[in-house]
Amino acid sequence: MKGLCYSSAVILFFLFSSALYAQEKDSKIESIPDPKIFVTQHQIVNGGKTVKYKATASETYLKNKEDKPVASIWTVAYTQDGISDSNQRPVTFIFNGGPGSASIWLHMGFLGPEIVKVSSDATEDDGAAPYQLVKNNLGMLDQTDLVFIDPVGTGYSRVIGEGKVEDFWGLNEDANSIAQFIRLWITENKRWFSPKYILGESFGTTRAVAVANLLEGNGQNMAINGLILISQALDYAGSTSVNDNITSYLTYLPSMAATAWYHKKAGQDKSLEAFVEEARLFTYDQYAPALYRGNLLKPEDREQIASKLVYFTSLDKDYILRSNLRILIPRFQKKLLEKEGLALGRLDGRFMGDEIDDVTEYPHLGDASDYQVDAAFTASLNYYFQKSLSIEMDRPYITSNEEIGNIWKWRNVPENQYWEPTEVNVARQLGETMRRNSDLKVFVAAGYYDLICPFFDTEYTFSRNGIDHNRVNISYFEAGHMMYLHDEDFRKLASEIRLFLSK
């Protein structure tokens, strides 16, 4: 009897504890505050027209199958006022890449109503505040509404309630969450008949293709009118500069040639376009066969290839031979201006960093094209949010979240499906989506001096994978990854996107 009473007490204790835990858990979920929203009215001159628009900065809660909030997506939407027929008004969804990057770069650097100005010629560091924030009179609010999206873990977006980061920090998981948000936004704003575009940069182009593909399923088929891909990264074989990846040696060489030309180290008797074309032909006709022959390459052919690589890159021939004719981009960043004691930027080879240690194999201070502009962007976004959009949040805006990249799931198949590690490639998804959606058109912007997503990789990717090249427009810019940092290319990129939207 005593044992029975003791057992009953234990059972009652655990029942009470379980009930208390459930109450605390439910209380935690129920305590989720209402989504924050900040609405302000503005006007601007874009496309020669005065546009009155509403800025809506807000949280949108994503829910799971049990209809419980699991994530908060932060967005800033700019929508034109006084539209009589929203069915004719396009809307463009915008995000950057990473993974782990907020939409700050496209927002404050190119497409937002106010943008920050940094050194157009990549000759000066952004320094410390104050910075120059100006009206973006080359914006596109006369043509399209704009919705800037910060994926979970970036900006003000985060997991909430029963959400877990692993449900969002992965190739498929990320695309699912963005597709879910886009459907919610379109439904809540009654825009199912509006032309729809997605604009992504870098990994944001990977996401854009995956999202466009996903939007055509789940019993809610939503066809996208156009994809705008800035510094595309659809097939990572061509944008991953590592040992033994032959594809990357080929795709990066023309970018090395272009960058060497920019710094007046090679090809000075030719125009940039002519020198780049020469590098293309060499890559196709001589460099690729040589690399695939490997150690079977004859000594005299090896010497000839090395001499041509000196011609295109200006690097020392002995160094190229010791590199086995294979030049990794981080080494190129350090070697091209080695005598000047400078290291090239990775996102943009025009930028140069004065490093402490001039003999390290790779740049050790980081990416000069990143650290020479990021303080200006961060300060300007926070200032703009507070002063122009009257946003008041209780947490910092995360521009780049390195934690995401450390645990990101790159596998593109479900967890229970067999899979061996391979380079990420969503290019075939784009080919499939274009075949199912005959109206889907693609605009791709590629920077000659982009040393992370090389322009030749764009050509390599879009010439295969089942992509309909007749509906693809590739445009080239004399800048890097964020070509809009260069004033001339800002104007060119804006003009060409405007033309793309008008068609």
Is 419 within 8 Å of 411 (Cβ atoms)? Answer: yes
What is the length of the chain?
A: 503
* Residue 352 placed within a domain: yes
Is 469 within 8 Å of 351 (Cβ atoms)? Answer: no
CA angle 414, 416, 422 (to 5 degrees): 60
pLDDT of residue 21: 45
DSSP state of 197: E
Cα four-point dihedral sign 103, 108, 110, 111:
positive
Using alpha carbons only, how large is the chain's radius of gyration in Å? 25
pLDDT of residue 30: 58
For residues 490 and 118, what is the distance between their CA atoms, to the nearest angstrom? 12
Phi-psi sector, 294: left (phi>0), alpha (psi -120 to 50), beta: left
SS3 388: coil
Beta-carbon-side half-sphere exposure of residue 276 (alpha carbons within 13 Å): 19
Domain final position from 370, 392, 420: 370
Q: Which residues contact 210 (CB under 8 A, 6 or more apart)?
A: 171, 172, 174, 175, 426, 429
| Strand (E) or helix (H) holding 132 | strand 132-135
Task: Indicate yes or no: pTM above 0.85.
Answer: yes
Same domain, 208 and 247: no
Same domain, 116 and 187: yes
Same domain, 216 and 288: no
For residues 410 and 98, what is the distance between their CA atoms, to the nearest angstrom? 13
Same domain, 415 and 339: no
Q: Which residues contact 21 (CB under 8 A, 6 or more apart)?
A: none
3-state SS track over 279-344: HHHHHHHHHHHHHHHHHHCCHHHHHHHHHHHHHHHCCCHHHHHHCCCCCCHHHHHHHCCHHHCEEE
Same domain, 220 and 263: no
Q: How many helices (H) and strands (E) does the chain have?
A: 16, 14
Same domain, 199 and 336: no
What tokens appear for 284 in the block? 């196709």
Cα-Cα-Cα-Cα torsion 127, 128, 129, 130, nearest 10 degrees, comes to -30
pLDDT of residue 9: 47
Phi-psi sector, 202: left (phi>0), alpha (psi -120 to 50), beta: left
For residues 130 and 116, what is the distance between their CA atoms, to the nearest angstrom? 11
Same domain, 53 and 198: yes
Same domain, 291 and 419: no
Distances (CA, A) of 462 to 58, 111, 151, 467, 478: 36, 26, 27, 6, 20
Same domain, 264 and 342: yes
For residues 12 and 28, what is the distance between their CA atoms, to the nearest angstrom? 24
For residues 113 and 384, what is the distance between their CA atoms, to the nearest angstrom? 10
Same domain, 131 and 244: no
Same domain, 262 and 114: no
Residue range of the domain that includes 364 = 240-370
* Residue 22 placed within a domain: no
pLDDT of residue 49: 95
SS3 403: helix
* Residue 20 placed within a domain: no
Please report, as a single letter, which amino acid is at residue 168.
F
Count how many domains the chain has.
Answer: 2
- Per DSSP, the residues of 209-278 read HHHHHHTT-TT-----SEEEEES--SBGGGG---TT-HHHHHHHHHHHHHHHHHTTSS-TTS-HHHHHHH
Q: Which residues contact 72 (CB under 8 A, 6 or more apart)?
A: 35, 59, 60, 61, 62, 152, 156, 157, 158, 159, 160
CATH number of the CATH domain containing 141: 3.40.50.1820
Same domain, 147 and 248: no
Query: Tokens 């005593």 — which residue?
Result: 2
Cis peptide before 113 (omega within 30 of 0): no
pLDDT of residue 405: 87
Is 434 within 8 Å of 220 (Cβ atoms)? Answer: no
From first to last of its 503 residues, what are the pLDDT tens digits of the chain? 444 444 444 444 444 445 444 444 444 455 889 999 999 999 999 999 999 999 999 999 999 999 999 999 999 999 999 888 888 999 999 999 999 999 999 999 999 999 999 999 999 999 999 999 999 999 999 999 999 999 999 999 999 999 999 999 999 999 999 999 999 999 999 999 999 999 999 999 999 999 999 999 888 899 999 999 999 999 999 999 999 999 999 999 999 999 999 999 999 999 999 999 999 999 999 999 999 999 999 999 999 999 999 999 999 999 999 999 999 999 999 999 999 999 999 999 999 999 998 889 889 888 889 899 999 999 999 999 999 999 999 999 999 999 998 899 998 888 888 988 888 999 999 999 999 999 999 999 999 999 999 999 999 999 998 999 999 999 999 999 999 999 999 999 999 999 999 98
pLDDT of residue 221: 93
The closest alpha carbon to 427, from 444, 414, 402, belongs to 444
